[in-house]
Amino acid sequence: MDRESINFHVLTLFPDMIRQGLDTSIIGRAVQKGIISVETIDIRDYTVSKHKKVDDYPYGGGAGMLMQAQPVYDAWKSVSERIDREGGSGKAARVIYTTPKGKPFVQAMAGELAKEKDLIFLCGHYEGIDERVLEEIVTDYVSIGDYVLTGGELPAMVMIDAISRMVSGVLNNEESKERESFSNYLLEYPQYSRPEIWQGKSVPPILLSGDHQKIEEWRLEKSLEVTKQIRPELYEKWVNENQAYFEKKARREERKRKNEQRKARKNSSSD
């Protein structure tokens, strides 16, 4: 297959949760087409405990249990060695540990990670994972938000979904990933479908005009309005990088104002 593809490998205590969460809709179809692959690795399969034990009490005391280093390390080692045998990219696969202590996951990071051939996700549970194995294998500490979940499976699925959308062929309309929120700091503009009037609310006339240039201008203006209202920090970033837009807009509005003045003078003289 000539097009780009990506392989996700998820180290988890709950492989069914990952499989069931990613086997439908856009991601499921991309897996069926071979554009992406999602492999789950059950960390319990790598414990040396005959009772499949993977956790223990933390040294120094404290609430809850901690995932042990040995099964996590052996699960990672097995996957890494197999990636190398099957012709990986030639470099060690990045290992992403989903944790509230990590770097915030944003659209730009999704685009960066989508360039990798293989990504390994490590999902913690209980009170976390022994620090020693994290120091040994983790390359990226990533968070999806300032809150705590029961495990790393949901964050891993969120990131896999966002990253997959950046891979060529996953979305039917390649233009979609360029237009969506955050692709250029701006939130997405409002969208409308049939019927033209619903409960007394009409579709904005500009969208029915057929004038594609004016439609694009309207969409950008609406994106700016929404972003300024909801995410002012993103709006400021866009403004700082797009001063030429406002200069062009000012010239356009000045020409419009002068044209209206000329029309007004012409109409008054004809009266």
Burial of 44 by CB count in 10 Å (0-12 exposed, 13-18 middle, 19+ buried)?
middle
CATH numbers and ranges of domains, the chain? 6-164 (3.40.1280.10), 197-270 (no CATH)
Please write the tens of the pLDDT for every residue from 203-230: 999 999 999 999 999 999 999 999 999 9
Angstrom distances, CA of residue 126 to CA of 136, 150, 156, 204, 251 = 20, 7, 16, 51, 60
Where would I find the H helices in the chain? 15-22, 25-33, 69-85, 107-113, 131-137, 153-164, 176-179, 212-230, 232-241, 243-270
d(CA 259, CA 239): 28
Task: Kindly give the interhelix angle for 15-22 and 153-164, rounded to the nearest 10 degrees.
Answer: 30
Please write the tens of the pLDDT for every residue from 152-169: 999 999 999 999 999 999
Mean pLDDT value across residues 21-33: 95
Task: Give this prediction's pTM.
Answer: 0.83
Tell the residue number behind the tokens 């989508």, with chain if given: 114
Please write the tens of the pLDDT for every residue from 34-50: 999 999 999 999 999 98
Q: CB of 186 within 8 A of CB of 232?
A: no
Where would I find the H helices in 123-211? 131-137, 153-164, 176-179
Share of the chain above pLDDT 70, in %: 93
Distance in Å from the first CA to the final CA of the chain: 72
Please write the tens of the pLDDT for every residue from 242-252: 999 999 889 98
pLDDT at residue 126, as a whole number: 85
pLDDT at residue 238, as a whole number: 94
Q: What are phi and psi of 147, to 5 degrees?
A: -160, 165
